[in-house]
Copies of this chain bind each other. A is one copy, B any other.
Amino acid sequence: MNSIQSYIKENKQRFLDELIELLKIPSVSADKAFEKDVLLTADFVVESLKKAGCDNVEICETPGYPIIYGEKIIDKNLPTVLVYGHYDVQPADPIELWTSPPFEPVIKTTEIHPEGAIFARGSCDDKGQMYMHVKALEYMTSTGNLPCNVKFMIEGEEEVGSESLAWFVPRNKEKLANDVILISDTGMIANDIPSITTGLRGLSYVEVEVTGPNRDLHSGLYGGAVANPINILTKMIASLHDENNHITIPGFYDKVEDLSTEERAEMAKAPFSLEDYKKSIAIGDVHGEKGYTTNERNAIRPTLDVNGIWGGYIGEGAKTVIASKAFAKISMRLVPNQDWREITELFKNHFESIAPKSVKVVVKPHHGGQGYVTPIDNIAYKAASKAYETTFNKTPIPQRSGGSIPIVALFEQELKSKTILMGFGLNSDAIHSPNEHFGVWNYLKGIETIPYFYQYFTEMSK
């Protein structure tokens, strides 16, 4: 057994215990009620990096939540890896659907995770995957196996748009200078089918408000004669997709790249069972843009989804009322070349333009980010691929993800370096959902694989 494997074997329980402590802190960045916990989590990350051997660990203040920076510079002439991750998590609701409390981590076995999985909000996205890098660094520093320089940048606003990071990065280009950026905030196809994410979708997130009458009205006295903002909102949202599920916003598709038949054929080679897919989320049928497969729909095509809608009486029983206002949170996943600010503007103009005179409409942009595609012909990708080959005994499949890490495009623009997305989670890990979990096997396999990336990347850089 090689050095990293034996190190993991000796320290497995401690690696799990430390992550569980980190997962107990409810660092929900979207909700101000958790502000203290988010800051406590930042402190936890600081201590972890120090213990793992980082120098110059600091809490970098920003307009929002702090960014944790740390580094280990062993030789200016060696390449530098910048590790990015985030310590904030998605809100846990609907809490009633969790089988165990979201911030009381427990290890349970599942069909896919016979060796157990840690159930907790953030276990996979991204505390668990971020902490793999901390433990991999600990191994490399404590055993003299660190082959190059490393920098850590861990933020606390990824789940709400990374605005402070977008503020921080341009102001700290020298501090953050690197040869490659390494992120584990994505997934792979299956534990026996390793894959590396080579594409990410962009995001535009908006909130809309439709106002009808200036007060709630009796639906009998006014019903039928006054525009009901909820009915109007449903008409407006419904009109955003046509009968082929194409998005109807003028100009929305103008910059969408059409993949070649060859590229689509290459994608189609990834193992996929539509039946298993439907079964895994208990749906009678898939639903999406005409002319594209399921894997194309959620990877290379843009989308428009309502993430939340509310208005009127939603309590117990019945209330015969016409609400004064109706609201919706709407997000669009974008593909490379679509500019999120431009798309947000297109949405705003279109949505306001389709509002009837009988209501007032306000569109509030929330946040957004650009899509990204990683080239697979550079040494960073080759080093990552070889690292997976070493620990999985299989060549990983390059795969486009439907998710978004808006900051990746910004890194390339500001730091002029490529990002490698080494994800060890699974789609079935329920990130952003109740009962999020992260396989113990995946957690340890990540810690085992990461040092090989450092090794191969350093060798290939010579």
Q: How far is the CA of A278 from the CA of B385 in the complex (A)?
A: 66
Q: How far is the CA of A435 from the CA of B216 in the complex (A)?
A: 10
Q: How far is the CA of A51 from the CA of B161 in the complex (A)?
A: 66
Please judge, given known A-B contacts A318-B367, A319-B432, A358-B285, whether A219 and B305 are in contact too, CB under 8 Å: yes
Do B221 and A402 touch across chains, with their CB atoms under 8 A apart? yes
Q: How far is the CA of A367 from the CA of B326 in the complex (A)?
A: 24
Residues of chain B with a CB closer than 8 A to A173's CB: none
**Chain A interface size, under 10 / 10 to 19 / 20 to 34 / 35 or more:** 35 or more
The chain B residue sitting closest to A91, CB to CB, is B319
Q: How far is the CA of A210 from the CA of B148 in the complex (A)?
A: 54
Residues of chain B with a CB closer than 8 A to A311's CB: 306, 308-310
From 348 to 381 in chain A, residues with beta carbon under 8 angstroms from any chain B beta carbon are 356-360, 366-367
Do B298 and A223 touch across chains, with their CB atoms under 8 A apart? yes
Please judge, given known A-B contacts A215-B281, A283-B226, A309-B230, whether A220 and B301 are in contact too, CB under 8 Å: no
Please judge, given known A-B contacts A287-B358, A309-B326, whether A318 and B205 are in contact too, CB under 8 Å: yes
A286 interfacial by beta-carbon distance below 8 Å: yes
Q: How far is the CA of A304 from the CA of B224 in the complex (A)?
A: 7
From 215 to 249 in chain A, residues with beta carbon under 8 angstroms from any chain B beta carbon are 215-228, 230-235, 237-239, 241
Q: How far is the CA of A295 from the CA of B432 in the complex (A)?
A: 49
* Chain A window 298-322, contacts with chain B (Cβ cutoff 8 Å), 1 for yes, 0 for no: 1001111111111111111111111
Nearest CB on B from A183, distance (A): 15
Interface majority SS on A: helix, strand, loop or mixed? loop
Q: How far is the CA of A271 from the CA of B282 in the complex (A)?
A: 58
Closest 7 CB pairs of A and B: A30-B317, A220-B403, A227-B287, A224-B303, A308-B312, A238-B238, A214-B282
A264 interfacial by beta-carbon distance below 8 Å: no
Residues of chain B with a CB closer than 8 A to A213's CB: 281-283
* Chain A window 78-96, contacts with chain B (Cβ cutoff 8 Å), 1 for yes, 0 for no: 0000000000001101100
A427 interfacial by beta-carbon distance below 8 Å: yes
Residues of chain B with a CB closer than 8 A to A231's CB: 237-238, 241, 304-306
Please judge, given known A-B contacts A282-B214, A321-B433, A434-B216, whether A224 and B402 are in contact too, CB under 8 Å: yes
Task: Find A329's partner among B302, B312, B333, B357 (CB 8 Å cutoff).
Answer: B312
